[in-house]
Amino acid sequence: DTAVSQTPKYLVTQMGNDKSIKCEQNLGHDTMYWYKQDSKKFLKIMFSYNNKELIINETVPNRFSPKSPDKAHLNLHINSLELGDSAVYFCASSQDLGGEGETQYFGPGTRLLVL
């Protein structure tokens, strides 16, 4: 059973296009996250949702818009894609928001390449 799943795994698209990445977790967790991992492997938090509400919104362009239809899903829509958006995007979930030693469970990542 896949705990945190993302689709698609690979996404190649042209600059200026709009695309979405979907994420689902079957762990019954209350909190979900989107991370961006750049070519240097640095993992940067983008968004955090707790019980479908936005908790953390780091400084990301407003071309990125997360949507959480329910606790088990957190999708990421990106408008007007730019070359610099090329990266691996990870979805993750945890039982609750923060707290000492809260484990985050990661999806397999979506490799986005903008041409």
Partner 1 sequence: TQLLEQSPQFLSIQEGENLTVYCNSSSVFSSLQWYRQEPGEGPVLLVTVVTGGEVKKLKRLTFQFGDARKDSSLHITAAQPGDTGLYLCAGASAVSNYQLIWGAGTKLIIKP
Token pair 């979405």 in the structure block, residue: 20
CB of 80 to partner 1, least distance (A): 27
Site for partner 1 in 34-63 (CB under 8 A): 40-45, 48, 56
CB of 50 to partner 1, least distance (A): 11
Task: Give the whole-angstrom CA distance, residue 90 versus residue 78.
Answer: 14
Q: What is the number of residues in the chain?
A: 115
Task: Give the whole-angstrom CA distance, residue 55 versus residue 16.
Answer: 28
Choose among 113, 109, 93: nearest CA to 48. 93
From residue 84 to residue 103, the character string flagging contacts with partner 1 as x (rule: CB under 8 A) and all else as - is ------x-x----xxxxxxx
Q: Which of 4, 32, 78, 114 binds partner 1 (CB under 8 A)?
A: 4
Verify binding: residue 72, partner 1, rule CB under 8 A: no
3-class SS at 83? helix
Contact residues for partner 1, defined by CB under 8 A: 4, 40-45, 48, 56, 90, 92, 97-109
